[in-house]
Amino acid sequence: IMHSQVTAEKGVTIAGKGVLVGGMTRAGEEVKAKVLGSKLSVGTEIEVGINPTLKEEYFNLQETLKESKKNHEKIVKGLATLNQLKSRMLSSFPTDKQAMLEKLRSADEQMNSSMEAAKARFEELDKRMSQMRGGRIIVGDTIHPGVKLTIGKSVRRFDEVVKNLRNNKIGRASCRERV
């Protein structure tokens, strides 16, 4: 497999020459290959131990929550401004400003509701991801420079060739280096 984006819920096994070079390979449980990367130090990333679909949803939700928070802050500022104006103007508060105030109140309620649901889902995903165990990378022979292995939340980058692995199982203990 060369310069590809591969995603699998369970595992990826590269048969034949067993070479995985370039791109990103994600698997929920296992990746098995004879050779990872190439002599040219081509960037090759392998992630196992976290369901790729959950991970993608987790990061998308994280971005959505960040954007929602920014938008909610704008709504709150608008509400504060209009409420101040209304308290100063009392009975002469313009109807168009009143309509805007009502729209902002409605938007605030909707935003709060959707943010609560998104936060609950985010916390659920975070809990599920932290509970995931296992994940392994089995290398039959060589890991070249430029390879980045991620098992769960543990990461290891290879800057030198590692040879003669003979189906070495690379688990969390081998990827303790944090990035």
pLDDT digits (tens, 9 = 90+) for 127-148: 887 777 678 888 988 999 999 9
Smallest CA-to-CA distance from 100 within 78, 77, 72, 74 is with: 78
Q: Which amino acid is it at 6?
A: V
Q: Note the pTM of the prediction, 2 decimals.
A: 0.63
For 97-106, 123-132, 162-171, which range has the lowest pLDDT when averaged over its residues?
A: 162-171
Residue 163 CA to its chain's centroid (Å): 31
Q: Per DSSP, what are the bridge partners of residue 19?
A: 35
**Under 8 Å CB-to-CB from 152, ≥6 apart: which residues?**
49, 50, 132, 133, 135, 172
The mean of the pLDDT values for the chain is 87
Q: Residues 97-103: what's their mean pLDDT?
A: 93
Confidence of residue 177 (pLDDT cuts 50, 70, 90): very low
